[in-house]
Structure 1
């Protein structure tokens, strides 16, 4: 039976890639209807124009609906692909620039900027999950909404029985870069990875064609040769250059590149432009492209210039849906409650580890060995700070929020934590719960 899909955060620049990936996978995942849901009607309408054009170009008869109404968006759907951004890029700009003002990391998902986004995301995401529980209680939510571990913890507390898979495709991006740089085929890999979202390490990378763990040789190549980043934009090229330094300084594991914000926050701040951050790059790039493309289609001129493609971001979440629908029991890196999967980490941590996905949902894979104390120490502090932030949200507690900000490893002391918290709270008055 054909499925009905809702893309929550339909106005996102990632939507065309997801839709094109869905079209590529119709033999495994047949769809009769796609619904675009967004609280920003203008952006959703622009994306509707683009998606209608792509469907027509691909000669697809899938029905398309664009709506700002939750009932119309979610009633009787089978899957929800969530990529909502509460507050939009405009609020992300504050998350990045206010911390930099005080000499600490300003970033979308990491540091206190990530905590600011987390407080917004919890409020908006839990409201959406409430609608889904009301209108489509049997639907699967496949979540890309950040910050993932904070979202996952909040959903676990309020909706423990909801059918949700929390996924991040950054490990795919890292693996694709390694394969591209050094001539590997990652389809031959069985990877073991552990950590929190945007905060983890590879334990092993087993290559079935070579019948061995190739992580030691990958580490050597990263140190001696460096990554090939000519195909990446400047921000990502810089990020992976710093990842090379992480591997050189700590050569036992391959890290997630986002650890740069916790291991080298001074370098991040020194090289940041407090007047022009990643949010501004996206405004001038991806968001501008959406508006220009929608207007181009509306004018019915040069339609061949509409150049969106299927991508790994879309493929990852579609592959998860296909594995659920067809009971394939495929392996993914997902965000789940620990419950002993990492033996020497607290049971109630929300971790990112390999999992099998089938029609019953997510089945985490135990690492069966303890992680190094260095990683454990970093993770324990981060877990505690994230849990305090979720406590602050549910308890409306300013004190818990201050504790969370102070404990965040990108913050040097409580004085800075309080100043940043107070200014972010003022900017987010319409988006955070009230903290007293």
Structure 2
């Protein structure tokens, strides 16, 4: 089988390669094509995967291409993980928001909406090219903001594009471990939300919900990063475990102030770190990559922790999005069923949201595709966050599709982390001034 990785010059690509080349990989990829607009970055990543190849019995053949149609032609799977504007763009996303006194974070709030405006035109080109040169391919999207990008691409590719994220399944895994694992029993769960905004509302073994027992135990909650982020008292009040990104909604003021008072934002850290890596990976790019990766993962969401608190080892080494992508590919390709948490079309799952909206829910995947699992009704409290965020997402998709500045303004104004329509308008104009591609898109 052929896999095309859009964003093949990305820093985390060697981790994807390790997953698909592993001797115990659940599906065998024979050909891996790395696509990127930067040949120099492709060359660096290619050198790293070449160094990794001798470790595996059946490494895939790896080629690179800067031509999108060439890279996608005849592929079986497409994995998308691109960053339009690079890490420098992320820095601007963060700082323009902070300058207006609102949260500056990569995918949450105004930073995520600006990121979407830069990203959607390219991702729609990807969708149209897949439709034309690889119509039977499955597209697995991790390009952020993943929910927005997946929803937009579905207009071209329908159910054959699926959004993934590693945070929900990581939460599910930690919750199950905290209550002693499945011990051979049948595991079921109820997870609902949007990308980077969701809740685990039950986790059952053989029909018995073990979440109440988990929530009652300080010892069990200590092993759950999400519970540590928002506080044991809050998860008990909710009766659910939130996705870690809900920290930015539940503690928006505190998160903003921690980011503003830090020596550098997350984007600045990554820009400095990865610019240095790609500028000079040294004589052994693999060793340099491994060292840089560990520093990157250890500092993830640092603003959500106290200054002297280190990220737990189990939260750093969780398998990552590459494992989610590989499990999804394996279920679709082999027909061996898998249960996952994915970004898919809503249909009637959450009747309060549009049927064609993308939601993040538990799904069963097999050779016939992705089948969302039933969920319990969503509480008004949770809908109170989901609905305005989804409204903002849909307005930003419309803004990109129509080239509408007013739609962009409405998107920023609708988001619950933007507290003024005047601020929303200034944000749109500031992002237009900083990014020529946004200015051109919105006219």
**TM-score range relative to shorter protein:** 0.7 to 0.9
3-state DSSP class of the match of 2:216? helix
- Matched residue count: 419
- Specify whether residues 287 and 172 from structure 1 end up closer, same or farther in structure 2 by C-alpha distance, changes over 3 A only: farther
Query: Separation in 1 of the partners of 2:291 and 2:361?
Result: 40
TM-score (ref. length: structure 1): 0.87
Deviations 1:131-150 (A, max 9, x none): 22222121111111111221
Aligned equivalent of 1:73? 71
Aligned equivalent of 1:233? none
- Specify whether residues 304 and 414 from structure 1 end up closer, same or farther in structure 2 by C-alpha distance, changes over 3 A only: closer
Q: 1:279 pairs with 267, 282, 285, which one?
A: 267
Aligned equivalent of 1:214? 210
Task: Give 5+ residue unaligned stretches, structure 2.
Answer: 295-316
Aligned equivalent of 1:401? 408
Q: CA deviation at 1:404?
A: 0.8
Aligned equivalent of 2:123? 125
Aligned equivalent of 2:6? 8
Matches within 5 A, 1:329-368: 329-367=337-375
Q: CA deviation at 1:301?
A: 9.4
Deviations 1:188-242 (A, max 9, x none): 642210011111111211134xx521111222235x765348xxxxxxx7x7643
3-state DSSP class of the match of 1:334? strand
Deviations 1:157-193 (A, max 9, x none): 3x04472121111112223444566754698642210
Aligned equivalent of 1:20? 18
Q: CA deviation at 1:290?
A: 5.9
- Specify whether residues 82 and 36 from structure 1 end up closer, same or farther in structure 2 by C-alpha distance, changes over 3 A only: same
Q: 2:172 pairs with 158, 172, 175, which one?
A: 175
- Specify whether residues 187 and 264 from structure 1 end up closer, same or farther in structure 2 by C-alpha distance, changes over 3 A only: farther
Matches within 5 A, 1:383-422: 383-422=390-429
Query: Separation in 2 of the partners of 1:290 and 1:198?
Result: 29
Q: 1:30 pairs with 28, 31, 39, which one?
A: 28
Aligned equivalent of 1:320? 328
8 A contact 2:169–2:340 mirrored in 1: no
8 A contact 1:11–1:43 mirrored in 2: yes
Aligned equivalent of 1:232? none
Query: Separation in 2 of the partners of 1:246 and 1:386?
Result: 31
Q: Does 1:296 align with 2:292?
A: no
Query: Separation in 2 of the partners of 1:400 and 1:175?
Result: 36
8 A contact 1:123–1:433 mirrored in 2: no
Matches within 5 A, 1:126-275: 126-157=124-155, 159-161=156-158, 163-178=160-175, 184=181, 189-208=187-206, 212-221=208-217, 226-228=221-223, 241-244=228-231, 247-248=234-235, 250-273=237-260
Q: Does 1:99 align with 2:118?
A: no
Deviations 1:345-375 (A, max 9, x none): 44333211111212222112221x3211111
Q: CA deviation at 1:397?
A: 0.9
Deviations 1:81-127 (A, max 9, x none): 11111111110111111111111111111101000111112111111
Task: Give 5+ residue unaligned stretches, structure 1.
Answer: 230-236
Query: Separation in 2 of the partners of 1:257 and 1:304?
Result: 25
- Specify whether residues 58 and 297 from structure 1 end up closer, same or farther in structure 2 by C-alpha distance, changes over 3 A only: farther
Query: Separation in 1 of the partners of 2:289 and 2:348?
Result: 53
3-state DSSP class of the match of 1:132? helix
8 A contact 1:16–1:310 mirrored in 2: no
8 A contact 2:277–2:289 mirrored in 1: no
Query: Separation in 1 of the partners of 2:356 and 2:113?
Result: 19
3-state DSSP class of the match of 1:141? strand
3-state DSSP class of the match of 1:273? helix
Question: Looking at both structures, which has the greater relative contact order when contacts are Cα pairs under 8 Å and sequence separation is at least 6?
Answer: 1
- Specify whether residues 170 and 302 from structure 1 end up closer, same or farther in structure 2 by C-alpha distance, changes over 3 A only: closer
TM-score (ref. length: structure 2): 0.86
3-state DSSP class of the match of 2:222? coil
- Specify whether residues 175 and 63 from structure 1 end up closer, same or farther in structure 2 by C-alpha distance, changes over 3 A only: same
State the superposition RMSD in angstroms.
2.9
8 A contact 1:178–1:227 mirrored in 2: no
8 A contact 1:55–1:61 mirrored in 2: yes
Q: CA deviation at 1:320?
A: 0.3
3-state DSSP class of the match of 1:363? strand
